[in-house]
Amino acid sequence: MLVADDQPDVIQALRLLLKSEGYLVETARSPAGILSAVETEDIDAVLMDLNYTRDTTSGQEGFALLSRLLSLDATLPLVVMTAWGSVDSAVEAMRRGAWDYIEKPWDNARLLAVIRTQIELGRAIRKTHRLEGETRLTRPDGLPTLIAESSAMQPLLRLMERIGPSDANVLIAGEHGTGKELVARWLHAASPRANQPFVAVNMGGLSEGVFESELFGHVKGAFTDAKADRVGRFELAHGGTLFLDEIANVSMAGQAKLLRVLQTGDLERVGSSKTRHVDVRILSATNVDLGTEAAAGRFREDLLFRLNTIELNLPPLRQRRDDIPPLAMHFLRAHSQRYHKVLSGLDPTAIQALLDHGWPGNIRELDHAIERAVLLAHGDTVRAIDLALRAASGSADAVPRVESMTLEEVERLLIQKALTRFEGNVSQAARALGLSRSALYRRLSTHGL
């Protein structure tokens, strides 16, 4: 990392402190030296004074330097040093793009904590930009995008690559919101059936009365409302793939009917005695353990054997945190385009908020959080407070529902949670919310807190 100050004793003290923590330290004593180092060296972060030899109090040299550095590398963490009590200078530096600030004389523990946090955030942002929200599974042959760079996903991806080209029936298990249908679409696209239909049906949404009609079809007059022949989902998927979502919700009677078709490939439309043969690959999904359900007598074991020739278990998002930044950027681009907003990325505090959250709703919850943040965002980046999370709580439990709140109510709630989390420490709460201390004080006054 780079330490910059025009006072040799300050540079020496910071060099010794940072080297004791294992950092490789470069130094500079002027704006020109800082620019030269950033242009020629691989720098993780810059810790820089605002005042140099041209003047010693206004900070104008430092403010101008911030703009130059950001134009060179917008992902470079910039931490400024200000004289104790110079709140206005710190606020202005944050407004101009500094990621955080340290007051002189500094507290060693706080300085090291700030540097460590900003370097980690900078690395996460750079990785996100480098990946461009894409994954190693994105191929030129039209496979759906799977964002899965984390180590927890690698065994699953390797298995998918092996079974995708086969005709094997696959059971995809995982919590709500983990992306089971996307995996099913990827398997279909990777198979020889890719140019044939992919038909998805939510088995949990089929009542007993319409189960056969929806899956197998019916003929005109088969029942009161059957005013014309209808093709069922199995026939629609002929030659392709049928995706049975929430398969655990099928009744025992429905399971028996489903099993017969899977065993023989033969079916009759409701009201018809004509047998039709279908050729489909079955992909199914569940968020419960079907083995346990079978042992309890709630799911047919012979049907389970037909469905899970191969079983894929998708890990929840909390077990694949390396995927959170690229997933967030993927959703940010999609929703920015949808709502016609120009957003360049995620503020470092927003990325930290995303990494801190437990995501009980998994990828679906992340998608919704980013969509809401895009709608609320002011400026060209999404901040922690725009996420309206849940972010300030740092907990997966007791997630507040903010859908019916006004923006002012959401902001008040997040400020309260941030202050509670940091035991009233305004500086820490402000950083968690992506605000300067003075901005947070203004909001405290506005909300009567």
pLDDT of residue 54: 55
Same structural domain, 169 and 301: yes
Check whether 174 has a pLDDT greater than 60: yes
pLDDT of 71 over the 70 cut: yes
Same-domain pairing of 85 and 194 = no
Q: Spell out the residues 6+ positions from residue 297 whose beta carbon is closer than 8 angstroms to its own.
A: none
Range with the lowest mean pLDDT among 89-93, 287-291, 410-414?
A: 410-414
The whole domain housing 388 covers 320-446
Confidence of residue 57 (pLDDT cuts 50, 70, 90): low
In a domain, 146, yes or no: no
pLDDT digit string, tens, across residues 242-253: 999 999 999 999
The count of other CB atoms within 10 Å of the CB of residue 213 is 19
Contacts by 25-31, CB closer than 8 A, 24 or more apart: 25/1, 26/1, 26/2, 27/2, 27/3, 28/2, 28/3, 28/4, 29/4, 29/5, 30/6, 31/61, 31/64, 31/65, 31/68
380 domain-assigned: yes
Confidence of residue 89 (pLDDT cuts 50, 70, 90): confident
Q: Which of 188, 399, 204 is nearest to 288 (CA)?
A: 204
Judgement on whether residues 309 and 337 belong to the same structural domain of the protein: no
CATH code at position 419: 1.10.8.60
pLDDT over 90 at 227, yes or no: no
Place of tokens 């706080």: 110
Are residues 222 and 188 part of one domain?
A: yes
Residues 188 and 273 in one domain: yes
Q: Tokens 């004793």 belong to which residue?
A: 9
* 229 band by pLDDT with thresholds 50, 70 and 90: confident
Question: 278, 294, 315: which is the final residue of a domain?
Answer: 315
Give tens-digit pLDDT for 339-386.
888 887 887 778 888 888 888 889 998 998 898 888 877 777 777 667
- 78 and 184 in a single domain? The answer is no
CA distance 313 to 332: 27
Domain identity same for 360 and 423: yes
Domain ends where: 131, 165, 198? 131
Q: Check whether residue 369 and residue 249 sit in a common domain.
A: no
Mean pLDDT computed over 292-315:
94
Q: Using the 8-state DSSP alphabet, how is residue 20 labeled?
A: H
| Closest by CA position to 428, among listed 398, 399, 394 | 394
Query: Band of the pLDDT at 131, cuts 50, 70, 90?
Result: low
Assess whether 120 and 162 both reside in one domain.
no
Our CA angle for 359, 362, 363, nearest 5°, is 120
B/e letters for 364-379, b = 16+ CB within 10 Å, e = fewer, are: ebbbebbbbbbebbee
Phi-psi region of 126 (alpha: psi -120 to 50; beta: other; left: phi over 0): alpha
pTM higher than 0.85, yes or no? no
Is the predicted pLDDT of residue 203 greater than 90, yes or no? yes
Mean pLDDT of 17-30: 91
For residues 65 and 31, the answer to whether their CB atoms sit within 8 Å is yes
Q: Does residue 201 sit within a domain?
A: yes
Confidence of residue 61 (pLDDT cuts 50, 70, 90): confident
Task: Kindly state whether residues 172 and 270 are assigned to the same domain.
Answer: yes
Query: Does 172 share its domain with 295?
Result: yes
Q: Are residues 293 and 331 in the same domain?
A: no
Count of domains forming the chain: 3
Instruction: With respect to residue 143, please indicate whether it lies within any of the assigned structural domains.
Output: no
Q: Note whether residue 208 is domain-resident.
A: yes
Q: Average pLDDT of the chain?
A: 83
State which of 298, 315, 332 marks the end of a domain: 315
339: in domain: yes
pLDDT of 162 > 60? The answer is yes
Going by pLDDT thresholds of 50, 70 and 90, the confidence category of residue 427 is confident
Q: Return the beta strands (E) in 37-108 as ranges.
A: 46-49, 78-83, 100-104
Q: How confident is the model at residue 338 (pLDDT cuts 50, 70, 90)?
A: confident
Inside any domain, residue 396: yes
pLDDT digits (tens, 9 = 90+) for 380-424: 777 766 775 543 333 333 344 444 455 566 667 777 777 776 777
4-21 residues labelled b (16+ CB within 10 A) or e (exposed) = bbbeeebbebbeebbeee
CA 221 – CA 135 distance, rounded (Å) = 51
More confident residue, 87 or 262: 262
Q: Is residue 381 part of a domain?
A: yes
